[in-house]
Structure 1
Amino acid sequence: MQIETVTEKQRVNAARKLKKMFGGIDYTNMPHCPIRDVMAFVSDKWSTLIILHLGYFPVLRFNELKKKVFGVSNKVLSERLKQLEGDGYVQRTVYPEVPIRVEYNLTDFGHSYLQKLIELTEWAENHKNYVINNRENFKK
Protein backbone atom coordinates (compact mmCIF):
# COMPACT_ATOMS: atom_id res chain seq x y z
CA MET A 1 0.00 0.00 0.00
CA GLN A 2 1.32 3.41 -0.87
CA ILE A 3 0.93 6.15 1.71
CA GLU A 4 0.08 9.63 0.53
CA THR A 5 2.90 12.11 0.90
CA VAL A 6 2.35 15.01 3.24
CA THR A 7 3.00 18.19 1.30
CA GLU A 8 4.92 21.15 2.63
CA LYS A 9 1.68 23.14 2.52
CA GLN A 10 0.02 20.55 4.81
CA ARG A 11 2.96 20.70 7.24
CA VAL A 12 2.84 24.49 7.35
CA ASN A 13 -0.92 24.46 7.82
CA ALA A 14 -0.63 21.94 10.67
CA ALA A 15 2.13 23.99 12.31
CA ARG A 16 -0.01 27.13 12.08
CA LYS A 17 -3.00 25.39 13.67
CA LEU A 18 -0.86 23.86 16.43
CA LYS A 19 0.71 27.24 17.19
CA LYS A 20 -2.76 28.72 17.50
CA MET A 21 -3.79 25.82 19.72
CA PHE A 22 -0.76 25.73 22.03
CA GLY A 23 0.92 29.12 21.55
CA GLY A 24 -0.97 31.06 24.22
CA ILE A 25 -1.05 28.40 26.93
CA ASP A 26 0.69 29.18 30.19
CA TYR A 27 1.62 25.67 31.28
CA THR A 28 2.83 26.83 34.71
CA ASN A 29 -0.58 28.09 35.86
CA MET A 30 -2.88 25.57 34.22
CA PRO A 31 -4.67 23.09 36.51
CA HIS A 32 -5.51 20.78 33.61
CA CYS A 33 -5.20 20.58 29.85
CA PRO A 34 -8.49 21.68 28.26
CA ILE A 35 -7.83 19.62 25.14
CA ARG A 36 -7.07 16.48 27.10
CA ASP A 37 -10.09 17.11 29.31
CA VAL A 38 -12.42 16.97 26.29
CA MET A 39 -10.59 14.44 24.10
CA ALA A 40 -9.56 11.84 26.68
CA PHE A 41 -13.07 10.70 27.43
CA VAL A 42 -14.73 11.02 24.06
CA SER A 43 -11.87 9.29 22.25
CA ASP A 44 -11.64 6.18 24.42
CA LYS A 45 -12.54 2.92 22.68
CA TRP A 46 -15.99 2.50 24.24
CA SER A 47 -17.17 6.08 23.71
CA THR A 48 -15.92 5.98 20.12
CA LEU A 49 -17.83 2.77 19.41
CA ILE A 50 -20.97 4.09 21.13
CA ILE A 51 -20.94 7.26 19.03
CA LEU A 52 -20.27 5.35 15.80
CA HIS A 53 -23.11 2.93 16.48
CA LEU A 54 -25.52 5.70 17.45
CA GLY A 55 -24.56 7.40 14.20
CA TYR A 56 -25.42 4.31 12.21
CA PHE A 57 -28.51 3.32 14.20
CA PRO A 58 -30.25 6.64 14.95
CA VAL A 59 -32.00 5.35 18.10
CA LEU A 60 -30.95 2.46 20.30
CA ARG A 61 -32.03 1.08 23.63
CA PHE A 62 -29.42 0.10 26.21
CA ASN A 63 -29.44 -3.64 25.49
CA GLU A 64 -29.43 -3.07 21.72
CA LEU A 65 -26.39 -0.83 22.10
CA LYS A 66 -24.70 -3.36 24.38
CA LYS A 67 -25.08 -6.08 21.73
CA LYS A 68 -23.57 -3.83 19.07
CA VAL A 69 -20.65 -2.59 21.20
CA PHE A 70 -19.20 -6.07 21.62
CA GLY A 71 -17.33 -6.69 24.86
CA VAL A 72 -18.51 -3.70 26.87
CA SER A 73 -19.86 -4.45 30.34
CA ASN A 74 -23.18 -3.08 31.59
CA LYS A 75 -21.34 -0.92 34.12
CA VAL A 76 -18.95 0.63 31.60
CA LEU A 77 -21.70 1.18 29.02
CA SER A 78 -23.87 2.87 31.63
CA GLU A 79 -20.98 5.09 32.79
CA ARG A 80 -20.04 6.08 29.24
CA LEU A 81 -23.63 6.87 28.27
CA LYS A 82 -24.04 9.09 31.36
CA GLN A 83 -20.82 10.94 30.58
CA LEU A 84 -21.70 11.31 26.89
CA GLU A 85 -25.12 12.62 27.89
CA GLY A 86 -23.58 15.01 30.43
CA ASP A 87 -21.14 16.36 27.85
CA GLY A 88 -23.92 16.84 25.29
CA TYR A 89 -23.08 14.15 22.72
CA VAL A 90 -25.99 11.83 23.51
CA GLN A 91 -29.63 12.40 24.35
CA ARG A 92 -31.41 9.97 26.68
CA THR A 93 -35.18 9.73 26.35
CA VAL A 94 -37.24 7.98 29.02
CA TYR A 95 -40.76 6.85 28.17
CA PRO A 96 -43.19 6.45 31.09
CA GLU A 97 -44.25 2.94 30.19
CA VAL A 98 -44.30 -0.34 32.05
CA PRO A 99 -41.69 -1.64 31.73
CA ILE A 100 -39.84 1.65 31.38
CA ARG A 101 -38.34 2.30 27.94
CA VAL A 102 -35.12 4.30 27.56
CA GLU A 103 -33.68 5.25 24.18
CA TYR A 104 -30.39 6.89 23.23
CA ASN A 105 -29.57 8.99 20.19
CA LEU A 106 -26.92 11.49 19.12
CA THR A 107 -27.56 15.20 19.60
CA ASP A 108 -26.64 17.69 16.87
CA PHE A 109 -23.38 18.22 18.79
CA GLY A 110 -22.83 14.46 18.80
CA HIS A 111 -23.39 14.37 15.06
CA SER A 112 -20.80 17.12 14.56
CA TYR A 113 -18.25 14.99 16.43
CA LEU A 114 -19.37 11.89 14.50
CA GLN A 115 -18.37 13.61 11.23
CA LYS A 116 -14.79 14.04 12.49
CA LEU A 117 -14.76 10.54 13.93
CA ILE A 118 -15.82 9.10 10.58
CA GLU A 119 -12.90 10.89 8.91
CA LEU A 120 -10.52 9.41 11.47
CA THR A 121 -11.94 5.89 11.16
CA GLU A 122 -11.75 6.11 7.36
CA TRP A 123 -8.11 7.13 7.69
CA ALA A 124 -7.48 4.18 10.04
CA GLU A 125 -9.22 1.79 7.66
CA ASN A 126 -7.20 3.06 4.70
CA HIS A 127 -3.89 2.76 6.58
CA LYS A 128 -4.40 -0.34 8.73
CA ASN A 129 -2.23 -2.55 6.49
CA TYR A 130 0.59 -0.02 6.66
CA VAL A 131 0.45 -0.05 10.47
CA ILE A 132 0.19 -3.85 10.66
CA ASN A 133 3.18 -4.27 8.33
CA ASN A 134 5.23 -1.79 10.36
CA ARG A 135 4.34 -3.63 13.58
CA GLU A 136 5.48 -6.92 12.07
CA ASN A 137 8.73 -5.42 10.77
CA PHE A 138 9.39 -3.73 14.12
CA LYS A 139 9.17 -7.07 15.96
CA LYS A 140 11.88 -8.62 13.75
Structure 2
Amino acid sequence: MTFEEFQEYIKNEIPKENCPVSKTLELLGGKWTSRVIYELEKADHLRFGQLKNNLKGITNTMLSSTLKILEDRGIVARKQYNEVPLRVEYSLTEAGKAMLHIYYEMAKWGSVYLVKSVE
Protein backbone atom coordinates (compact mmCIF):
# COMPACT_ATOMS: atom_id res chain seq x y z
CA MET A 1 0.00 0.00 0.00
CA THR A 2 1.38 3.42 -0.92
CA PHE A 3 1.21 6.44 1.38
CA GLU A 4 -1.56 7.93 -0.76
CA GLU A 5 -3.55 4.69 -0.60
CA PHE A 6 -3.06 4.68 3.16
CA GLN A 7 -4.42 8.23 3.41
CA GLU A 8 -7.51 7.19 1.44
CA TYR A 9 -7.87 4.10 3.62
CA ILE A 10 -7.90 6.30 6.73
CA LYS A 11 -10.47 8.67 5.25
CA ASN A 12 -12.83 5.98 4.01
CA GLU A 13 -12.41 3.02 6.33
CA ILE A 14 -14.37 2.45 9.51
CA PRO A 15 -11.90 1.57 12.29
CA LYS A 16 -11.84 -2.15 12.96
CA GLU A 17 -10.64 -4.22 15.88
CA ASN A 18 -7.81 -5.64 13.78
CA CYS A 19 -6.59 -2.26 12.47
CA PRO A 20 -2.82 -2.64 11.95
CA VAL A 21 -2.10 0.86 13.27
CA SER A 22 -4.09 0.27 16.46
CA LYS A 23 -2.45 -3.12 16.99
CA THR A 24 1.03 -1.63 16.54
CA LEU A 25 0.29 1.26 18.91
CA GLU A 26 -1.12 -1.19 21.43
CA LEU A 27 2.09 -3.20 21.28
CA LEU A 28 4.33 -0.14 21.60
CA GLY A 29 2.17 1.46 24.28
CA GLY A 30 3.59 -0.40 27.24
CA LYS A 31 5.91 1.58 29.49
CA TRP A 32 8.82 -0.85 29.05
CA THR A 33 8.16 -2.34 25.60
CA SER A 34 10.12 0.18 23.56
CA ARG A 35 12.97 0.19 26.05
CA VAL A 36 13.28 -3.61 25.92
CA ILE A 37 13.27 -3.53 22.12
CA TYR A 38 15.87 -0.73 22.20
CA GLU A 39 18.19 -2.71 24.48
CA LEU A 40 17.85 -5.83 22.34
CA GLU A 41 18.54 -3.78 19.22
CA LYS A 42 21.87 -2.69 20.70
CA ALA A 43 23.00 -6.29 21.32
CA ASP A 44 22.70 -9.52 19.38
CA HIS A 45 21.28 -11.22 22.45
CA LEU A 46 20.96 -10.53 26.17
CA ARG A 47 20.27 -12.60 29.23
CA PHE A 48 17.50 -11.65 31.64
CA GLY A 49 19.92 -10.20 34.21
CA GLN A 50 21.70 -8.12 31.58
CA LEU A 51 18.38 -6.68 30.41
CA LYS A 52 17.34 -5.94 33.98
CA ASN A 53 20.63 -4.13 34.66
CA ASN A 54 20.18 -2.04 31.51
CA LEU A 55 16.60 -1.11 32.41
CA LYS A 56 16.88 0.80 35.66
CA GLY A 57 13.68 0.66 37.68
CA ILE A 58 12.04 -2.35 36.05
CA THR A 59 10.94 -5.19 38.31
CA ASN A 60 11.56 -8.86 37.57
CA THR A 61 7.82 -9.38 37.17
CA MET A 62 7.43 -6.50 34.72
CA LEU A 63 10.44 -7.58 32.67
CA SER A 64 9.18 -11.17 32.54
CA SER A 65 5.73 -10.00 31.52
CA THR A 66 7.04 -7.64 28.84
CA LEU A 67 9.34 -10.30 27.39
CA LYS A 68 6.48 -12.83 27.35
CA ILE A 69 4.20 -10.42 25.48
CA LEU A 70 6.92 -9.60 22.96
CA GLU A 71 7.69 -13.30 22.53
CA ASP A 72 4.00 -14.11 22.00
CA ARG A 73 3.76 -11.36 19.37
CA GLY A 74 6.82 -12.65 17.51
CA ILE A 75 9.02 -9.64 18.31
CA VAL A 76 11.45 -11.35 20.69
CA ALA A 77 12.93 -14.84 20.52
CA ARG A 78 13.76 -16.76 23.68
CA LYS A 79 16.51 -19.38 23.50
CA GLN A 80 17.04 -21.74 26.40
CA TYR A 81 20.26 -23.68 26.74
CA ASN A 82 20.22 -27.00 28.57
CA GLU A 83 23.04 -26.15 30.93
CA VAL A 84 23.46 -26.01 34.66
CA PRO A 85 22.81 -23.35 35.70
CA LEU A 86 20.05 -22.72 33.19
CA ARG A 87 20.92 -20.09 30.59
CA VAL A 88 18.27 -18.17 28.65
CA GLU A 89 18.99 -15.52 26.04
CA TYR A 90 16.65 -13.05 24.37
CA SER A 91 17.05 -11.51 20.94
CA LEU A 92 14.96 -9.71 18.37
CA THR A 93 13.29 -11.71 15.64
CA GLU A 94 13.20 -10.42 12.07
CA ALA A 95 9.86 -8.77 12.91
CA GLY A 96 11.49 -7.11 15.92
CA LYS A 97 14.43 -5.89 13.88
CA ALA A 98 12.04 -4.49 11.27
CA MET A 99 10.54 -2.27 13.98
CA LEU A 100 13.71 -0.16 13.94
CA HIS A 101 12.28 1.59 10.88
CA ILE A 102 9.27 2.65 12.94
CA TYR A 103 11.49 4.09 15.66
CA TYR A 104 13.62 5.83 13.04
CA GLU A 105 10.60 7.58 11.56
CA MET A 106 9.39 8.52 15.05
CA ALA A 107 12.83 9.94 15.87
CA LYS A 108 12.82 12.02 12.69
CA TRP A 109 9.35 13.36 13.46
CA GLY A 110 10.24 14.06 17.08
CA SER A 111 13.43 15.89 16.20
CA VAL A 112 11.47 18.24 13.95
CA TYR A 113 8.18 18.74 15.81
CA LEU A 114 8.82 18.00 19.47
CA VAL A 115 12.02 20.01 19.63
CA LYS A 116 10.11 23.04 18.29
CA SER A 117 7.36 22.64 20.91
CA VAL A 118 9.92 22.60 23.74
CA GLU A 119 11.76 25.75 22.58
Q: Decide: shared fold, TM above 0.5.
A: yes
Which runs of no fewer than 5 residues in structure 1 stay unpaired?
A: 1-12, 134-140
Tell me what 1:6 maps to. Answer: none
Deviation at 1:38, TM superposition (A): 3.2
Q: Which residue of the other structure, out of 26, 29, 40, is the alignment partner of 1:54?
A: 40
Task: Determine the C-alpha separation between the residues in 1 that align with 2:58 and 2:112.
Answer: 26
**Equivalent residue runs for 1:7-86 within 5 Å:** 16-21=5-10, 23-25=12-14, 27=15, 30=16, 32=17, 34=19, 35-86=21-72
Q: Does 1:116 align with 2:105?
A: no
Name the TM-score, length of structure 2 as normaliser: 0.81
Tell me what 1:98 maps to. Answer: 84
Deviation at 1:42, TM superposition (A): 2.4
Deviation at 1:68, TM superposition (A): 1.1
Q: Which has the higher helix share?
A: 1
Deviation at 1:21, TM superposition (A): 3.8
Task: Determine the C-alpha separation between the residues in 2 that align with 1:54 and 1:97.
Answer: 23
Which consecutive aligned stretches of 4+ in structure 1 deviate over 4 angstroms post-superposition? 13-16, 125-128
Name the TM-score, length of structure 1 as normaliser: 0.70
Letter in 2 for 1:48: S
Task: Determine the C-alpha separation between the residues in 1 that align with 2:49 and 2:117.
Answer: 34
Task: Determine the C-alpha separation between the residues in 2 that align with 1:44 and 1:125.
Answer: 22
Tell me what 1:5 maps to. Answer: none
Deviation at 1:18, TM superposition (A): 2.8
Deviation at 1:54, TM superposition (A): 0.6
Task: Determine the C-alpha separation between the residues in 2 that align with 1:97 and 1:22.
Answer: 55
Task: Determine the C-alpha separation between the residues in 2 that align with 1:74 and 1:14.
Answer: 41
Q: Is the 8 A contact 1:42 1:84 kept in 2?
A: no
- Provide the aligned length of Structure 1 versus Structure 2: 117
Q: Is the 8 A contact 1:62 1:103 kept in 2?
A: yes
Whose radius of gyration is greater, 1 or 2? 1
Task: Determine the C-alpha separation between the residues in 2 that align with 1:125 and 1:102.
Answer: 37
Task: Report the identity percentage.
Answer: 30
Deviation at 1:58, TM superposition (A): 1.4
